[in-house]
Amino acid sequence: MTVTVGRVRDEPVLGGVKYVVLSHNTKLGAGKGAVLLAEWLTREGYIDRADGPRPA
């Protein structure tokens, strides 16, 4: 899988950064690429890890 990140710049209105990401996943597959991205976002703290289903 190849990922290219570009046009990284400050975003003063939202208090963060803006960027453009292009990925090429011909060999990896879209599903596996989405899982890989979700794992990375979780590890970096951008999304919270779900606890899973709660018992009734």
Q: What is the pLDDT of residues 6-41, one digit of tens each?
A: 888 888 888 888 888 887 766 667 677 788 888 888
Asked whether residue 21 is domain-assigned, the answer is yes
Please state whether the predicted TM-score (pTM) of the whole model is above 0.95. Answer: no
Asked whether residue 8 is domain-assigned, the answer is yes
* 45 conformational bin, left if phi > 0, alpha if psi -120 to 50, beta if neither: left
Query: Which pLDDT belongs to residue 50?
Result: 63
Bridge partners of 10?
17
Asked whether residue 51 is domain-assigned, the answer is no
Query: Which pLDDT belongs to residue 1?
Result: 65
Boundaries of domain holding 33: 2-43
Q: Say how many domains are in the chain.
A: 1
Asked whether residue 27 is domain-assigned, the answer is yes
Asked whether residue 53 is domain-assigned, the answer is no
Q: 20 phi and psi, to 5 degrees?
A: -120, 135
36 touches 27 (CB < 8 A): no
